[in-house]
Amino acid sequence: MERSSGILMHIASLPSKFGIGSIGKDAYRFVDFLKTAGQKYWQILPLGHTSYGDSPYQCFSAFAGNPHFIDFNLLKEEGLLKEEDYNNINFGKEDDKIDYSIIFLERQKVFKIAFDNFEKVRCNEFEIFKEENKFWLEEYSLYMAIKEHFNLKSWQEWDEDIRIRKYSSMKKYKYILKYEIEYWNFIQYKFFQQWEELKVYANKNNVSIIGDIPIYVAEDSSDIWANPKMFKMDKNMKPKVVSGCPPDSFSITGQLWGNPIYDWDAMEKDNYSWWVLRIKESFKLYDVVRIDHFRGFEAYWEVPYGDKTAEDGKWVKGPAMKLINAIKKELGDLNIIAEDLGFLTKEVLKFKEESGYPGMKVLQFAFGEEDSDYLPHNYPVKCVAYTGTHDNDTFKGWMEKTGQSNEVKNAKKYLPLTNEEGYNIGFIRGVWSSVSYLAIAPMQDFLNLGNEARINLPSTLGGNWKWRATEEELSTELAKNIYKITKRYGRI
């Protein structure tokens, strides 16, 4: 396997004048940065339409793109916007933070202007897009239109007739919300159009995109509202059980994610067609797909609906290789990364081996025990090595927070870390110099940013997913320094 490396950088974290990173010129400049830095991969977090809490792992649809990422300037170049439509709007006061409450309100106003202008110049490509994506787009756009009609409430709080999808009510809302439904169709059309052009540019510059798909979908989503029989729901369309993970080093009460659990028996009868379709569509967006919480296919932590913590959950067996074999039968061998972190049993390790997919090694986990599997000398070639992930603190934050503990002392001694080289560069060297075929570090580690730049603290709501880089930080000098370490360890 060819040695290579990449950088983990959320689209939302790109520099931008409009409150949040976009898939416009800011993203193209980052591709140029990666090319200068000798990187072959750009790993991103999920692109989905985020819901309450702003987490890319809790989305309104497993297939829809995030409207926040649509670029205003590209819409202007098409003639759908004028600069005065968006240039003098306050999208947030801080260049290095996202203010979701502001952009949620202000960006939608701009998109409505663009849609009204688009209505005057409709094109055949739009109709083709709607037809090709009908299998998810119809339900999503109807769902979003009804959601706005009910002041953004979860579908569980809608009027009973439409909550349970009564035929006459479905017909009524499709009629009275025709404009709003078409608006959401337009939003997705523009998202996918802009994303496809960016991906083509990245690939032309020898940069491949690693996408990330959450194993679960959100309770407040079009997927569950439209397909309740695929999930463990009761006769009133309420979840019986929800997802999470048991107590661990991240959280003493476990992590209560709250996503409804798949009815794997029902899915098996349908040859896992929904999952096959989800993977197929993901590979239209990405060159490589990382499946989050891959171990959940072998066994998952199931928590009674309504519990306040994940402590009283239990392990339940999943579909394991039956699902993987169904995907491979339909789609062939795919470039998938299995996120195999967390509590790993012999059964999980065997399942991951059988799948044939590379797993992950995270250097931050390496220094708590004497001969950890996360120490670089224990890495197999077929794995993806990370300094940290979106769920970890930054390297600098981890080091400062852990302080004088044995973990930091062990890291300094093992790598070894020195002031002269820079502690963060020494830590990155730990994965870049390993035998792992692919090494990745979050952008924050290259920038040597502390806890203030941490993007997510698991099991917390609020304060997450906000960090943004500034234009000054993504300098040519930094790119050249990254190129040097990448060349030194044979990853160019």
Q: Alpha-carbon torsion 128, 46, 136, 151, what sign?
A: negative
Structure tokens that stand for 214 in this block: 């959450």
CB of 340 closer than 8 Å to CB of 360 = yes
Written as one letter, the residue type at 428 is: I
CB 366 within 8 A of CB 378: no
Q: For residue 323, which of 262, 261, 272, 266 has the smallest C-alpha distance?
A: 272
pLDDT band at 464 (very low <50, low <70, confident <90, very high): very high
The answer to whether residues 305 and 239 touch, using CB atoms and an 8 Å cutoff, is: yes
- For residue 212, which of 165, 300, 271, 278 has the smallest C-alpha distance? 278
Q: Of 391, 393, 407, 445, which one is the catalytic site residue?
A: 391
Q: For residue range 19-54, what is the model confidence (pLDDT) as tens digits? A: 999 999 999 999 999 999 999 999 999 999 999 889
Task: Give the pLDDT confidence score for residue 250 in this predicted structure.
Answer: 63
339 is catalytic: yes
Residue 391: active-site member? yes
Query: In residues, how long is the chain?
Result: 492
**Cα 411 from Cα 402, distance rounded (Å):** 11
Residue 327 to residues 133, 320, 334, 340, 341: CA-CA distances in angstroms? 20, 11, 9, 19, 22
Burial 336-366 (b: 16+ CB within 10 A, else e): bbbbbbbeeeeebeebbeebebbbbbbbbbb
Q: Residue 1 — very low, low, confident or very high, per pLDDT cuts 50/70/90?
A: confident
For residue 357, is pLDDT > 70?
Answer: yes
CA angle 38–39–42, rounded 5-degree value? 155
**Which residues are bridge partners to 209 per DSSP?**
42
For the stretch 130-154, pLDDT in tens is 999 999 999 999 999 999 999 999 9
Q: Tell me what pLDDT residue 404 has.
A: 73
CATH node for 4-488: 3.20.20.80
Q: Is 166 helix (H, G, I), strand (E, B) or coil?
A: coil
Which residue of the set 71, 182, 219, 292 is catalytic? 292
Please list the residues that pair with 303 across neighbouring strands. 242
Torsion of CA 73, 74, 80, 84, to 10 degrees: 0
Region of residue 247 (left: phi > 0; alpha: psi -120 to 50; beta: else): beta
From the list 393, 372, 375, the residue with the least C-alpha distance to 385 is 375
How many other C-beta atoms lie within 10 A of the C-beta of residue 426? 18
Band of residue 216 on the pLDDT scale cut at 50, 70, 90: very high
Other CB atoms within 10 A of residue 373 CB: 14
Catalytic option among 339, 340, 393, 407: 339
CA separation, residue 56 to residues 62, 163, 399, 460, 461 (Å):
11, 25, 27, 14, 13
Mean pLDDT of the chain: 96
Given a cut of 80, is residue 305 above it in pLDDT? yes
pLDDT band at 201 (very low <50, low <70, confident <90, very high): very high
Per-residue pLDDT at 196: 98
CB atoms within 10 A of CB 463: 11
Backbone angles phi, psi at 362, to 5 degrees: -115, 120
pLDDT value at position 405?
Answer: 85
Question: Residue 79 phi/psi, 5° resolution?
Answer: 85, 10
Reported as a pLDDT band with limits 50, 70 and 90, residue 218 is: very high
Return the SS3 of 195: helix
Q: What is the mean pLDDT of residues 431-450?
A: 98
Q: Are 190 and 115 in contact (CB under 8 A)?
A: no
Give the pLDDT mean for 311-330. Answer: 97
| Alpha carbons 480 and 474: distance in angstroms, whole number | 11
Question: pLDDT value at position 370?
Answer: 85
Whether the pLDDT of residue 219 is over 90: the answer is yes
Residues 6+ apart with CB under 8 A from 353: none
Q: What is the predicted pLDDT for the residue at 381?
A: 98
Q: Does the pLDDT at position 369 exceed 90? A: no
Whether the predicted pLDDT of 244 surpasses 80: yes
Coil, strand, or helix at residue 386? strand
Considering all CA atoms of the chain, what is the largest pairwise distance in Å, rounded to the nearest integer? 71
Structure token pair of residue 267: 């899915």
Residue 123: the pLDDT is 85
